């Protein structure tokens, strides 16, 4: 919470008379930001849960809108998901036949929120399984911005080997 400066953000929102509106949005029955589905009283699903991929897509859309509002180019602070998927395919598809069972390490030196690493992991895993190979993938990255680094960690709490340090990549944090 300290790295997100949560307490000062709450004060700034309150001073701007925007805190109530923000809380109302989070309490709205029209959205569900939980990974679990929101159900009616009869247990039927009212709104599906939000997985990491969907949350990443929402985050990307917010960044895109922020950039447009500030006359900044797309890709200046984030890489669109389509471009990331293309990059992962360009890296792995040419060597797909050489992917054997074993351990693989993926590293991102400008981690951001971890989207490229996640797509690279999914692509490698898919190509390996399509060829009957079992792979263990270890993800490492570094990010200088503490808020962004924490967002990446929050999006993937199951990462066991993780390095998202300010200056260098150190495994197992």
Per-domain boundaries in the chain: 1-35, 79-173
pLDDT the model gives residue 126: 96
Who's near 9: CB < 8 A, 6+ residues apart? none
Q: What is the pLDDT along the chain (173 residues), one digit of tens a residue?
A: 565 666 777 788 888 888 888 888 888 888 888 889 999 999 999 999 887 777 777 777 777 777 666 665 555 566 777 888 999 999 999 999 999 999 999 988 888 878 888 899 999 999 999 999 999 998 888 888 777 777 777 766 555 444 444 334 434 43
Phi, psi angle pair for 156, to nearest 5°? -140, 65
CATH architecture assigned to 79-173: 3-Layer(aba) Sandwich (3.40)
- Cα(59)–Cα(51) distance, integer angstroms: 12
CA 84 to chain centre: 12
Distances (CA, A) of 64 to 5, 17, 26, 69, 76: 23, 25, 21, 9, 10
């Amino acid at each position: 919470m300290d790295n997100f400066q949560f307490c000062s953000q709450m004060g700034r929102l309150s001073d701007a008379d925007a805190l109530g509106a923000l809380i109302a949005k989070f309490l709205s029955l029209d959205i569900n930001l939980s990974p679990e589905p929101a159900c009616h009283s009869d247990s039927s699903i009212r709104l599906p849960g939000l997985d990491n991929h969907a949350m990443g897509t929402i985050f990307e859309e917010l960044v895109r809108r922020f950039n447009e509002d500030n006359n900044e180019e797309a890709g200046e602070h984030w890489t669109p998901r389509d471009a990331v998927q293309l990059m992962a395919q360009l890296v792995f598809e040419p060597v797909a036949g050489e992917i054997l069972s074993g351990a693989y390490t993926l590293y991102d030196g400008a981690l951001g929120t971890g989207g490229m690493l996640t797509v690279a992991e999914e692509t490698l895993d898919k190509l390996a399984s399509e060829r009957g190979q079992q792979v263990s993938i270890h993800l490492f990255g570094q990010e200088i911005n503490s808020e962004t680094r924490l967002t990446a960690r929050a999006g993937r709490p199951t990462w066991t080997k993780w390095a998202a340090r300010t200056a260098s990549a150190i495994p197992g944090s």
